[in-house]
Amino acid sequence: MRRREFIAGLTIAAALPSGVRGQQSRQARRVGVLVGLAANIDVPVARAFLKPFREAMAKAGWLEDGNVHIDYRFGGALSDLANTRASAAELVALAPEVIYAQGLPATLALRQQTKTIPIVFTQVIDPVGFGLADSLGHPGGNVTGFVTWDFAIGGKWMELLRGLDPNLARVGILFNPDTAPYAPGLVAAARDAASGIQVLEIRTHNDGETEVQIEAFSREGNGSLLVIPEPFTNGHRDHIVAQCARFRVPALNSVLGAVDGGALMSYTFVWDELVSAPVAYIDRILKGASPHDLPIQAPRRYELVINLKTAKTLGLDMPPVLLARADRVIE
């Protein structure tokens, strides 16, 4: 009986197309993804992150539940990075061949868990300063990827706010110190470019604090808000935009989707390009390359986006020079 079953199995296998036999004989490769955001895929920023990543993987020939299996994990509550560390430990325990990390907290958590599994990051600032790599050109370990910007962009953001309002007297910089360890460098760059404008750090940890802080900031007038993109402001994007509208505070908010959702202005990397670019490194690593030899790269381009509808609501006349510089204008 066993001999007949064995011969029958051979007959069926021989009848299958060679490509199918090859797929059955090759085990699917395993990739991990750690998104440094709250809870689940229903979070708008998480969905936006995963879409270009999945599309880029498919374009590179890596088909989910085909020749690659992808394990997705998320950070937990944005005010509790212990959940991000727990998700990192869980992902490393699955022993993927390479892990794609979104954001500095997720990348740091993964690096603490493994020094052997290759990690390719996106949305990280100052990877050398945070001990993730020896240098940008020669990472020297198991971590490489694509930075968002360097600290100098803080000065660029300040320059844009000054160009928006010739009477600007104050700029409030909004961030959560618990989830943005790189904020001091950006704040310092903004101060250096302030040229006499008062710079205030607006530290927040929850929606209630954000509301109180923005309302208090709005009372004195002649002020604009600078929102630092980081895990907290990403996850609380819509609330921050709503409070700026409620208290009529102009804001440069470069969180993904903020301007389309009603923020006045943003200046940052092109999201889809930054998120999809690391897939080329994942592909090379799955084919045998080492992150040790893959240089850390910067975004190919940045874009300025202005929401004219919001400007009108706030009673602002957008300077023609600023509009001429815009890559995209929402009317």
Q: What is the pLDDT of residues 210-222, one digit of tens each?
A: 999 999 999 998 9
Q: Are residues 209 and 249 in the same domain?
A: yes
Q: Are residues 94 and 71 in the same domain?
A: yes
User: Two tokens at 241?
Assistant: 């935009």
Q: Are residues 142 and 224 in the same domain?
A: no
Structure confidence at residue 260 (pLDDT): 94
140 three-class SS: coil
Residue 7 lies in a domain: no
Structure confidence at residue 180 (pLDDT): 87
Look at residue 7 and tell me whether its pLDDT is greater than 60.
no
Structure confidence at residue 20 (pLDDT): 40
Q: Are residues 138 and 45 in the same domain?
A: yes
Structure confidence at residue 231 (pLDDT): 81
Q: Are residues 314 and 180 in the same domain?
A: yes
Q: What are the DSSP calls for 229-250, one per residue?
A: PSHHHHHTHHHHHHHHHHTT--
Structure confidence at residue 104 (pLDDT): 86
Residue 166 lies in a domain: yes
Structure confidence at residue 78 (pLDDT): 45
Say how many domains are in the chain.
2
Q: Are residues 194 and 216 in the same domain?
A: yes
Residue 211 lies in a domain: yes
Residue 142 lies in a domain: yes
Q: Are residues 196 and 323 in the same domain?
A: yes
106 three-class SS: helix
CA distance 72 to 91: 8
User: Two tokens at 186?
Assistant: 């950006």
pLDDT in tens, 223-263: 999 999 988 898 899 999 999 999 999 999 999 889 999 99
Q: Are residues 136 and 232 in the same domain?
A: no
Q: Are residues 192 and 311 in the same domain?
A: yes
Residue 19 lies in a domain: no
- What's the CATH code of the domain at 36? 3.40.50.2300
Average pLDDT, the chain: 88
Q: Are residues 97 and 49 in the same domain?
A: yes
User: Two tokens at 225?
Assistant: 């808000």
Look at residue 113 and tell me whether its pLDDT is greater than 80.
yes
pLDDT in tens, 36-53: 775 565 666 667 778 899
Residue 37 lies in a domain: yes
If we measure between CA atoms, which residue out of 191, 132, 133, 136 comes closest to residue 159? 191
* Mean pLDDT within 167-189: 94
- State the amino acid at position 40 in one-letter form: N
Look at residue 198 and tell me whether its pLDDT is greater than 50.
yes
Look at residue 1 and tell me whether its pLDDT is greater than 90.
no
* Mean pLDDT within 150-167: 94
* Mean pLDDT within 287-300: 93
Look at residue 149 and tell me whether its pLDDT is greater than 90.
no
Q: What are the DSSP calls for 188-231, one per residue?
A: HHHHHT-TT-EEEEEE-SSHHHHHHHHHHHHTT-SEEEEEPPSH
Q: Are residues 243 and 280 in the same domain?
A: no
Look at residue 13 and tell me whether its pLDDT is greater than 50.
no
Structure confidence at residue 12 (pLDDT): 36
Compare 96 and 77 and report the one with higher pLDDT.
96
Structure confidence at residue 178 (pLDDT): 87
91 three-class SS: helix
Look at residue 147 and tell me whether its pLDDT is greater than 60.
yes
pLDDT band at 142; cut points 50, 70, 90: very high
What's this model's pTM, rounded to 2 decimal places? 0.79
Look at residue 304 and tell me whether its pLDDT is greater than 50.
yes
Look at residue 21 and tell me whether its pLDDT is greater than 50.
no
Q: Are residues 132 and 254 in the same domain?
A: no
The DSSP bridge pattern shows strands 251-253 and 223-227 to be parallel
Structure confidence at residue 25 (pLDDT): 39
168 three-class SS: coil
The residue to which tokens 């404008």 are assigned: 197
Compare 288 and 17 and report the one with higher pLDDT.
288
* Mean pLDDT within 170-181: 93
pLDDT in tens, 115-138: 999 999 998 999 999 999 999 999
Contact 29, 97 (CB under 8 A): yes
Look at residue 19 and tell me whether its pLDDT is greater than 70.
no
Radius of gyration, alpha carbons of the chain = 23
Give me the domain span that covers residue 68. Answer: 29-147+271-293
